[in-house]
Structure 1
Amino acid sequence: MKITEGVKKYRSIITIVLALIGIVIMAYYDYCDTTCSYLKGDIFGIDIKFVGIAYMVVIIAFAVFRQTPVVRVLLAAGVGVEVHLYAFQVQNNGYCPFCLAFSVMLLLSFIINYEVPSAWRGNRSRMWLYFLGEVDFPMFKINKLPLLIFSLLGYLTILFTFSGSVTPVYGQTTGGVIPSLGTGQYKIVMFADYFCPPCRRIDTKAEPLLKELLNSGKVKIEFVDVPFHRATPIYAKYYLYAANADSGADNILRVRKTLFDAAQVKHIQKEDALIIYLNEQKILWKAMDEKSIFTKLSAIIKDNNIKSTPTCLIRYSAKEVKIFVDDIEIWNGLNALKAHISAGKR
């Protein structure tokens, strides 16, 4: 009883704290510090991460002024939204830990603000209608309004406005050859997004090791740009253009470093600005039909079920393929391949 009374007493403060945690989670997800998971969605063209942040800000505003009825309505609508987003992740077999953590904050806030509906005492037959609780708006002379209504409204709103995807793809066409380095029996495929911080970290850290593996004459390397960020297709295009101008290993690795810098240091998102930067860095490029290669990149991304970056696929043989996710795992995987080659194993 004392715990319940304490929760009620500090309900607004707890709600504010949980909402702030939700904002931090979404901000951290946007920064993408460990791996960049591809669970993308928007509402009316607005990234759902920013919608989530704005939603929590609104909850904080009403909680500060102790407008509990409005907070309950917002949280009930949020529960309806989360039902659809959960279903979307299950249906696509792609789960976003940040999104799930955010939903936990929302559900905890809902529980903190929940009260057993008085309508249950009057008519038990309507328990199903009030199982999420009720809300009163005396100023509008509205009493015992089921929160289930707002949950359904939230669900229907997200159902008809949410546009999401799990596996990123480029525009489709046919033909084209994906640039590669080396011709060895072992194959490395590096999946990355230029706007993904851990992708840049492993790209920089692994460059000497990749060169060493190439020099062994036993390794073939492909780089697959995964279009998580909306500007990534532009970067992928100029990577292909640069590889078309000079497909040597030193140039390819230098081009990728330059593109990572353009994305994360210069924060370039427009094609004109990227061209200027590449010219300043003396990166040569030769235009080609990049769309023909984008089709193959999309197929590789889909076939390997790539849902986060950085991801590295190492094929030892037709029957032995290992996949590593995040920069630490990839580093260990590449070193394991180096040891395998050095030991002369087959």
Structure 2
Amino acid sequence: MVRILIKRMVMKSALSGKEKFNILLALAGIVLVFVYAYCGDSCSYLQGSLFGIDLKYLGVLFMGTLVAFSLFGLREYRLFLLSAGAGAEAFLIGFQVRHDVFCPYCLAFGAVLLLLFAINLDWGRRRLIGIFAALGLLAFVAFFNGSVTPSFAAEPLKPVFGNGRIHVRLYSDYFCGPCSRLDPEIAGPIAALVKKNSIRVTFVDTPVHQHTSLYVRYFLYALNEKKDIDYANKVRHALFLAAAMNITEREKLEEHLKKSGITYKIYDPAPTFNFLTGYLTEDKIRSTPTAVILDSGRKTVVRGSADIARAIGEIP
């Protein structure tokens, strides 16, 4: 096999213009991957893996294989690999469109791949091209694991509203009965205090129940779409209602939010979780609902729905 490949390479030593162009484009794709990898955190718009392998490594492997196929004159293998790549790229472009976050380097890499596919397209093999494109698409549908980060997101999203002197940290769990009864009682007063800059409120969703983490994610996703105190209260109300209905599956929760008029934008909430965990640790939260009120250096911890409602009502 090695002898055959060497013989092919010798025979193809005088590469045609098309082969040289194929190699040049593949090398350009590799350069794009390295530029993306080393440009720093500010351009990490899209991150993902397939079969647990980072897409950056797969991109280099993909383009490197194309270079090898071009050098050895393996045109059919190159076409089938490009077909699978085109199917995968269709998925990745759709992923970016869905989340409304676009990575210039990823799109440039995709443009190079699709150009390679176009110049090597052979309609006489359209059936096999379709099969390999479908395989590439299905592989990403089944095994792709990715996350998006909004462009220029220097600071993590924080569920904080208002600029008042008094800071209220409200700890609650969507599956907590007293929390669900407290929420409609204080939502209006909190919104009014925020709007007149009397308080700064931080909603710290506390994962006491096993399914709360899912709800916390969608609360943050909703704030990533629209960060507004009235919208935050609307989302919280919808999530408390979902918990009362014992919705614990992601698909059903998404359907419930859609019916409730809640839109959201998915992002990586890990930095936000770190921010909120800091407060949970600092305030030593052991139960919900709990409110921590900080005013002029004085810290007051209030527990229980009745006492929290009373404390919120007493804020001028």
What's the TM-score, normalizing by structure 1? 0.46
Structure with more relative contact order (C-alpha pairs < 8 Å, separation 6 or more): 1
